[in-house]
Amino acid sequence: MKKTTRATTVLSISVVMISLLLSGCTPMHGTASLTLITRDLSVDSNSIELIGGVDKISDSMYWALIFGMFGKQPTHEAVIERLLERHQADVLLDAELTTSNFGIPYIFMVFSDTVKGQPARFVDGGVR
């Protein structure tokens, strides 16, 4: 009878611990969508040339209990700049900016910023 009680106690504690850990794994997301991201506000929309297809890029930072934080602090501005430079583009059309954080609190976390959009450049200057 003692074995059954001890086994039940161990099982109960295990279930509680696993439930606490798994409840901390719930991801948190935020999404902002923009029609046009540009470096210049005086844009003539007829002078925009699409470059390739929709592209996606992200930055992540990690936090681990023992090691602290490592990786670069993600920002949408830095990710947008990298995406524009990758395609030598001037604007990003139909951009979707996403922030996500997930992991097990106090043990390991991942913080990510992602940008998805259609790169484009100005033809003939593109300024009104």
User: Per-residue pLDDT tens for 13-56?
Assistant: 877 777 656 655 545 555 555 555 555 556 666 778 888 889 99
Which residues, listed in sequence order, are joined to residue 60 by a DSSP beta bridge?
Answer: 112
Q: Which tokens hold the place of 54?
A: 């929709």
Q: Does residue 15 lie within any of the structural domains? A: no
113 occurs within a structural domain:
yes
**111 falls within a domain:** yes
pLDDT tens digits for range 72-117: 777 888 888 899 999 998 888 888 888 888 888 778 888 888 999 9
Answer whether residue 74 is part of any domain.
Answer: yes
Asked whether residue 37 is assigned to any structural domain, the reply reads yes
Number of domains in the chain: 1
pTM confidence score: 0.62
- Residue 101: how many other CB atoms lie within 10 Å: 16
Q: Is residue 41 part of a domain?
A: yes
12 falls within a domain: no
Identify the domain containing residue 117 by its residue range. Answer: 27-122
Residue 99 in tokens: 């922030």
pLDDT digits (tens, 9 = 90+) for 54-78: 999 999 888 887 777 777 777 888 8
8 belongs to a structural domain: no
Strand boundaries in the chain, DSSP class E = 28-38, 48-50, 55-64, 68-70, 91-104, 108-122
